[in-house]
Amino acid sequence: MPVHVPSSSPDTASNGLALRRRDLVRLLGGLGAGAAFGLLPHPASATPARVKTSAKIVIAGAGAAGLAAASRLADRLDGATITLIDERRPHYYQPGFTLIAAGLKPPSYSISTTKDYVARGVDLIEERVAEFDPDGKKVVTSTGRAVPYDYLIVATGLVLDYAAIAGMDTALIGKDGIGSVYAGPDAAHATYLEMARFVEKGGVGLFGRPATEMKCAGAPLKYTFITDDLLRKQNTRAKAELIYTAQNKVLFSVPIVSEKVRMLYADRGVKVNYEHILTAIDPGRKIATYKTPTGSAELKYDFIAVVPPMRAPEPVRNSPLKWQEGPFAADGWMEVDRATLRHRRYPNVFGVGDVAGVPKGKTAASVKWQVPVAVDHLIASIEGKTSKEVYNGYTSCPLITRIGRAMLVEFDYNDNLVPSFPGIIAPLEELWVTWVMKETALRPTYIAMLRGNA
Amino acid sequence: MKELDPMVFVAVLQEMLGAWFWLIVAIAVIGLVGLIAVIIRDRRIVHRPLVYAEIAGVIGGFAAIFIMQAVTHSTMADIGGPIDWVLGLVVWAVGAVGTTVLAYLILRAAVRRLA
């Protein structure tokens, strides 16, 4: 398990018994209630008495991380002013986009309303954050309203930079063989329709990922597997060539997972072009242009799943909150301590979710483990104490290898595999149980997380 | 890993099943209470309806697997490692036990002439 914290439960008195019971609960949880997308339940509120405070806490962004943080803070604090700021009213369950793009779920599967998850006692300002002023301890919204804070949690997510690919536009998604799973539930559905046409007719299918940090680096790999599976089920695999373009020399940042995927791609007949970064797309001629170490390369396609470069949102990029140097500076990711998610220069500021400038993990599973750590440190600061909570980089990816099977890949900052069910669910094995968890248990666990219950 | 809170599982199950959650809980409670009631009333388990109930249970087990696979867009061909067989058996057992209990209850409570 990612975070080992000494337990105060009487169970630990007889360690053997405690372990057995824990394994049993894990197994039941995994099979029944679906503990896995990080996914053993993170016990929220088996915590001490509520902390009385008059602190003003602002949470910028009401996505997965912002909502989960608000729920936990509301649960643990008494008297605090907690304000969420986000202009977007629908809430998107993004891990569902892959299933929509596989044709298994309708767009409505991923759509709900932000307000449904705003915890009682939390104020929601439906405006966009325009500016962060950490020196003046305030944020300014799109209407010019200044919102002062004692503590700030930045959970703005990231922006999809489609414009960075010459010729690409979100309006092209769903036309002439162009798909993109990331742009939203409707785009994911439009991508499915294009992919289904490709599955019928065959041709060249291009997949890949950007050179920037990205949400769920497993998603483009999964989508390649899913397309291969649908081609086989339609008996059209022979008419199609699938090419995965990796941005560097590996398929996944965790070496052991990269190797496994390399073997599976070899088995499925997916060709891999390493060190190919998508720079331009010509929808008319159906040609994608890539930057490679030996110059630019063109590939003709009949279907392409575009994954755009991803960066921190502009207000973060333009603020002192971003990394000033190092690998996360160029795209403006927030300069937070990787273990506590606390800003390295502004101790009353935290960054959680996609916007955090930490290695690995822009996933809901990361959020699930980051938020409780950041919240605990924030509350400890209010109390004048220090928290011992540590986020070890845990993230998880149910890597679908065909419709009906997936590998439960879980890892940390150090590229270690950290399986939730060691000896029970093998991390690099294609399993039905993992697929069942992905399809039935993930969204409920995610929603329970938004409410601060998981 | 910190201590696990059973309420987390309840929370996740509730999110998973929505309104079905309470319906299933109600059926399970009615089934169990009813079973205990008819056993106390009969002062024994009556053999013939039990056999019928067990036959229904076997079918119910397979129905549970069928429903599970239909809901998850998967087939028997997706069974991979040993844990998948365990999951299949657990699903079968849950379906079988549930159907057996309910069938026995219905036979003893509603169709008395079979006794």
Residues of A that are catalytic: 216, 397
CA A355 to CA A335: how far, in whole Å? 9
Sole residue written with tokens 């396609």: A301
CA distance A336 to chain B (A): 24
Question: A202 phi and psi, to 5 degrees?
Answer: 85, -170
Interface test with B, best of A433, A445, A450 (most B CBs within 10 A): A433
What's the full length of chain A, in residues?
454
pLDDT of residue B112: 60
pLDDT digits (tens, 9 = 90+) for B46-93: 999 999 999 999 999 999 999 999 999 999 999 999 999 999 999 999
For B34: left if phi > 0, alpha if psi spans -120 to 50, otherwise beta; the answer is alpha
β-bridge pairing A395-402 and A277-282? unpaired
What b/e readout covers A138-160, taking b as 16+ CB neighbours within 10 angstroms?
A: bbbbeeeeebebbbbbbbbbbbb
Longest dimension (CA), chain A: 69
CA A225 to CA A232: how far, in whole Å?
Answer: 11
Enumerate the H helices of A51-137 as residue ranges. 64-76, 97-101
**pLDDT reading at A86 higher than 50:** yes
Contact A61, A70 (CB under 8 A): no
Q: Give the C-alpha separation, B100 to B52, whole Å.
A: 9
Distance of CA A114 to the CA centre of its chain: 18
Enumerate the residues of chain B whose CB falls inside 8 A of the CB of residue A429.
Answer: 80-81
Closest CA to A155 of A351, A366, A393, A367: A351
Whether A432 contacts chain B with CB within 8 A: yes
Residues A3-36: tens digit of each pLDDT: 343 333 333 333 333 344 444 444 444 443 344 4
Report how far apart, in Å, the C-alpha atoms of A233 and of each of A305, A432, A453 are. 20, 17, 39
Q: What is the pLDDT of residues A316-367, one digit of tens each?
A: 999 999 999 999 999 999 999 999 999 999 999 999 999 999 998 799 999 9
- Collapsing DSSP to helix, strand or coil, A76 comes out as helix
Most confident of A21-30, A196-205, B105-114: A196-205
Mean pLDDT of the A181-193 span: 98
From A380's Cα to the closest Cα of chain B, the distance in A is: 18
Residues of chain A in contact with residue B19, where contact means CB-CB under 8 angstroms, are none
Residue A280 corresponds to which amino acid?
Answer: A
CA distance A226 to chain B (A): 13
Model ipTM?
0.86
Q: What is the pLDDT of residue A16?
A: 36
Please check the confidence at residue A259 and state whether its pLDDT lies above 90: yes
SS (H, E, C) A241-279: EEEEECCCCCCCCCHHHHHHHHHHHHHHCEEEECCCEEE
Interface of A with B in 345-404 (CB under 8 A): 402-404
H helix or E strand, kind and range, residue A113: strand A111-113
Q: How far is B33 from chain A (nearest CA, A)?
A: 23
* Mean pLDDT confidence for A142-163: 97
Which A positions 90-119 lie with beta carbon below 8 A of chain B? Answer: 104
Chain A residues touching residue B82 (CB < 8 angstroms): none
d(CA A395, CA A410): 6
> In angstroms, rounded to a whole number, what is the distance separating the alpha carbons of residues A200 and A210?
28
CA distance A49 to A42: 18
Position with higher pLDDT, A59 vs A4 = A59
Q: What 8-state DSSP symbol labels residue A88?
A: -
Which residues 49-88 of chain B have a CB within 8 Å of chain A? 68, 71-75, 77-81, 83-84, 86-87
- Of B4, B13, B87, nearest to A43 by CB-CB distance is B4
CA torsion through residues A83, A85, A88, A94, sign = negative
Contacts of A185 (CB under 8 A, 6+ apart): A92, A96, A97, A100, A107, A108, A109, A110, A111
Q: Which residues contact A238 (CB under 8 A, 6 or more apart)?
A: A202
pLDDT at B113: 54
Nearest-by-CA chain A residue for B5: A43
**Predicted pLDDT of residue A53:** 96
Say how many CB pairs under 8 Å bridge A and B. 123
Q: B16 contacts in A (CB within 8 Å)?
A: 33-34, 440-441, 443-444
> Who's near A442: CB < 8 A, 6+ residues apart?
A34, A36, A37, A39, A95, A364, A398
Residue A410 near residue A420 (C-beta atoms within 8 A): yes
